[in-house]
Amino acid sequence: MRDAFGQRRPAGVDAGEWQLRCELAAAYRLFAHLGWHELIYNHLTVRLPGTEHFLINPFGLMYREIRASTLVKIDLEGRKVDASAWAVNPAGFVVHAAVHAARADAHCVVHTHTTAGQVVACQAGGLLPLSFNALFYAGRVAYHDFEGITLDRQECQRLAADLGDRNVMILRNHGLLVCGPSIGDAFAEHYMLQRACEVQVAAQATGAALVQPLDAIAQRAAAQYDRTARQGDQNALLWDAMLRWAWDLDPGFAG
């Protein structure tokens, strides 16, 4: 299926960039299918290797409309590198720019306003070590306090400092942010974090007493996930499966 991406590559776009364009467009389509969109808002961005250039969604298109060729190439200031008829949302990219600039390993950055993510972001306790998925993040979640719409570059510095070397952050009263060395890694982080938030909200809604595993067990589970997913091959296997799913849903993203 990945070979089919190359068959659709337009003239003037190198193979590496086209591959990332297709994978990022697929991620947008999958986020739409899974309900992780905010209409025309929020972003998934990826860095082009060896550059300070990034791909981002055109402001005004819904995730289900994103195609590889419509993604906009920008720099760290959010300025368009190549000609494009589409604008870029400056309030959206400022969050991504903060992470990309501070973390050389953060090649892909994802920010969402999912319902479950926002509910947990509104809770003083944040993500609790309750569910199987939540235990992957024991001691591995960063938090950033709400400061308003993210337009201030000074907030970017504070946001990046709060993230530190972690791959997931809950933006208080706002939503979720994840990053990873690849689109597939960032997708996996968001999937697991989103599932953890969904289960937490559902468990709390039952009104029943909740069980939290011992911290030692939670840390053990998180370390196991580090080895098998973040440092192992599970994220790559998952992403290959997701690309096949995106292709089955609508191969038009790769155009």
To the nearest whole percent, how much of the chain has pLDDT over 70? Answer: 99
Query: Which tokens belong to 40?
Result: 């025309």
Distance CA 177, CA 163 (A): 9
Q: What are the structure tokens assigned to 79, written together?
A: 């300025």
Which among 89, 138, 58, 40 has a CA at the least distance from the CA of 21?
58
- Calculate helix-pair angle for 234-249, 183-205, nearest 10 degrees: 90
Asked whether the beta carbons of 118 and 174 are under 8 A apart, the reply is: yes
Are 251 and 68 in contact by the 8 Å Cβ rule? The answer is: no
Q: Which alpha helices (DSSP H) does 34-178 contain, by range?
A: 90-102, 115-121, 153-163
**Mean pLDDT, rounded, for 18-43:** 97
Local confidence band at 204 (pLDDT 50, 70, 90 cut-offs) = very high
Residue 209 has pLDDT above 70, yes or no: yes
Question: What's the pLDDT score for residue 157?
Answer: 86
Do residues 175 and 116 touch, judged by C-beta distance below 8 A? no
Distance CA 118, CA 137 (A): 17
**Which of the listed ranges 90-104, 141-155, 211-225 does the model predict with the highest average pLDDT?**
211-225
> What does pLDDT average to over the chain?
94
Relative orientation angle of helices 153-163 and 90-102, to the nearest 10 degrees: 50
Check which CATH number belongs to the domain holding 94 and give it: 3.40.225.10
User: Per-residue pLDDT averaged across 80-99, rounded?
Assistant: 88
Continuous segment of H or E residues that includes residue 125: none
Q: How far apart are CA 170 and CA 44, in angstroms?
A: 16
174 has pLDDT over 70: yes
Average pLDDT score over residue span 42-62: 96
pLDDT of 63 > 90? The answer is yes
How many other CB atoms are there within 10 angstroms of residue 16's CB atom? 11
* pLDDT at 60 > cutoff 90: yes
Classify residue 153 by burial, with Cβ atoms within 10 Å: 0-12, 13-18, 19+. exposed
3-state secondary structure of 79: coil
Task: List pLDDT tens digits, range 92-121.
Answer: 788 898 999 999 999 999 999 999 999 999
Number of independent structural domains in the chain: 1
For residue 197, the enclosing domain spans 2-254
Q: Of 168, 176, 187, whose CA–CA distance to 234 is shortest?
A: 187
- Structure tokens, 104: 């050389």
Residue 19 has pLDDT above 70, yes or no: yes
**Tokens representing 137?**
């993040």
Q: What pLDDT, on the 0 to 100 scale, is given for residue 1?
A: 65
